[in-house]
Amino acid sequence: MKLWAGLFLLLSFVSGVLSASSTQDKFATYQSLSRSGPVDLDSASYEDLTSTPRDYYAAVILTATDPRFGCLLCRDFESEWDLIARSWTKGPKPDELKVVFGTLDFDNGKAVFQKLMLQTAPVILVFPPTIGPFAKVEGNPLRFDFTGPISADQVYSWIGRHLPEGPKPELVRPINYMRIVSVTTILMAVVTATTVLSPYLLPIVQNRNLWAAVSLIAILLFTSGQMFNHIRKVPYVAGDGKGGISYFAGGFQNQFGMETQIVAAIYAVLSFATIALALKVPRMEDVKGQQLAVLIWATVLFATYSFLLSVFKTKNGGYPFYLPPF
């Protein structure tokens, strides 16, 4: 009985050592391959990396960076993923905690994408170790789906949560010296330029017409819903389903980029007509000319307002008011 147990122990020890040594090699090769950033994988090396037994964590991003696929998220996140891998390899961490970061591009790993039945990219998979001190019973990978633009910090903290307790390297963003230098240079250039050019700039800065124009443009932009476009990222125009373009979005809470520009233009015309009637016309000395100007501006005001009301009526179906022409 004792003999059997001893033999069994010995056998298991030997097998453990053997397997450990083979996975040890695997980890070492991938680590050397990676240098400091993530390892570029293809289908074969992906299978090898994620095959059991493994004594390391494998974090792989499945992505499609080629411009053909139009995956903006993938390309945006590429540098962030690089940052994560770099921070991990450079930072201080416990020796026995081994993590390999890898990147599998769609071009190199179509088979893997098919096998996993992935419809979207990017996706991050984290494979826990199956042997060693941090081995998990179930070796199924953890999956991180992207729902929108995500920063490296969020992904890093997600990965960190699934690693065992203990100290982990901080995510370090490299200091952008280039940017500091360029900002300082630009700042100094601006200061110099203003001091040198002040005799020429001062009249422009103090020009009342300029400030009036700037404030009016700002007000027109804001009141025509430009911030809504900016925040919601609405499309500029959309098709109406019959091959044409629909300029105005249906519904009270929707709008298109072009629609807001049209509305801003309408407001501008109306305001300008008002200004003309209020300020310019009473200052005209010519009797006939004044009569004509009043007629023109009043008509413009009336017609444009009528158009604005008709546009508003299309947006808000139950609106009961309108003015004749439109």
Partner 1 sequence: MAPSSLDVVLKGSSGRNTRGLLRVIILCTIAAAAVSSRLFSVIRFESIIHEFDPWFNFRATKYLVENGFYSFWDWFDDRTWHPLGRVTGGTLYPGLMVTSGVIYHILRLLTIPVDIRNICVLLAPGFSGLTALAMYLLTSEMSDSPSAGLLAAAFMGITPGYISRSVAGSYDNEAIAIFLLVFTFYLWIKAVKNGSIMWGALTALFYGYMVSAWGGYVFITNLIPLHVFVLLCMGRYSTRVYISYTTWYALGTLGSMQIPFVGFLPIRNSDHMSALGVFGLIQLVAFAEFIRGYLPGKQFQKLLTSMVLLTFGLGFGGLVLLSVSGVIAPWSGRFYSLWDTGYAKIHIPIIASVSEHQPTAWPAFFFDLNFLIWLFPAGVFMCFQKLKDEHVFVVIYSVLASYFAGVMVRLMLTLTPIVCVAAALALSCILDNFLVASTPSTETKAKATTEDKSLRSARNPVVGIYSWFSKSVVVASVTLYLLMFVAHCTWVTSNAYSSPSVVLASKLPDGSQFIIDDYREAYYWLRQNTPDNAKIMSWWDYGYQIGGMADRPTLVDNNTWNNTHIATVGKAMSSREEVSYPILRQHDVDYVLVVFGGLLGYSGDDLNKFLWMVRIAEGIWPDEVKERDFFTARGEYRVDEEATPAMKNSLMYKMSYHNYQSLFPAGQAMDRVRGTRLPKESPQLNTLEEAFTSENWIVRLYKVKDLDNLGRDHSNAVAFDKGLKRKRATKRKGPRVLRTE
Among residue numbers 95 through 154, which ones bind partner 1 (CB under 8 A)?
Answer: 119, 145, 147
The residue (of 131 and 220) whose beta carbon lies closer to partner 1 is 220
- Judge whether 238 and 256 are in contact, CB under 8 Å: yes
Among residues 132 and 257, whose Cβ is nearest to partner 1?
A: 257
291 lies in the site for partner 1, by CB under 8 A: yes
Q: Give min distance, CB of 150 to partner 1, in A.
A: 9
Give the integer Cα–Cα distance in Å for 184 and 320.
58
Contact present, 61 and 143 (Cβ < 8 Å): no
Q: How far is the CB of 160 from partner 1 (least distance, A)?
A: 11
Q: State the Cα–Cα distance between residues 300 and 101, nearest whole angstrom.
A: 66
> In the bound complex, what is the minimum distance in angstroms from residue 116's beta carbon to partner 1?
13
For the record, the structure tokens of 137 come out as: 């019973």
Tokens of 64: 């499609």
Position among 84, 224, 257, 258 found at the interface with partner 1 (CB under 8 A): 224
E strand segments, 141-227: 142-145
Of these, 20, 33, 163, 268, which contacts partner 1 (CB under 8 A)? 268
Residue 100 burial (CB < 10 Å; 0-12/13-18/19+)? buried
Nearer to partner 1, 161 or 242 (CB): 161
Residues linked to residue 151 through DSSP beta bridges, in sequence order = none
Q: Does 255 bind partner 1 (CB under 8 A)?
A: yes
**CB under 8 A: which stretch of 71-79, 103-111, 130-138, 282-290 binds partner 1?**
282-290
Does the protein bind partner 1 through residue 216 (CB under 8 A)?
yes
DSSP tag of 102: E
* H-type alpha helices, 35-139: 43-50, 72-90, 110-116
143 DSSP β-pair partners:
125
**Is 219 a residue that touches partner 1 (CB under 8 A)?**
yes
Decide if 269 contacts 300 (C-beta within 8 A): yes
How far apart are alpha carbons 44 and 251 in whole angstroms?
A: 52
Indicate whether 280 belongs to the interface with partner 1 (CB under 8 A): yes
CB nearer partner 1, residue 28 or residue 202: 202
For residues 135 and 225, what is the distance between their CA atoms, to the nearest angstrom?
A: 55
Binds partner 1 by CB under 8 A, chosen from 17, 189, 227, 265: 227
Given the rule CB under 8 A, which residues bind partner 1? 119, 145, 147, 158, 161, 208-209, 211-212, 215-216, 218-220, 222-228, 230-232, 252-255, 259-260, 263, 266-268, 270-272, 274-275, 277-285, 287, 290-291, 294-295, 298, 301-302, 305, 308, 312, 315-316, 318, 320-321, 323
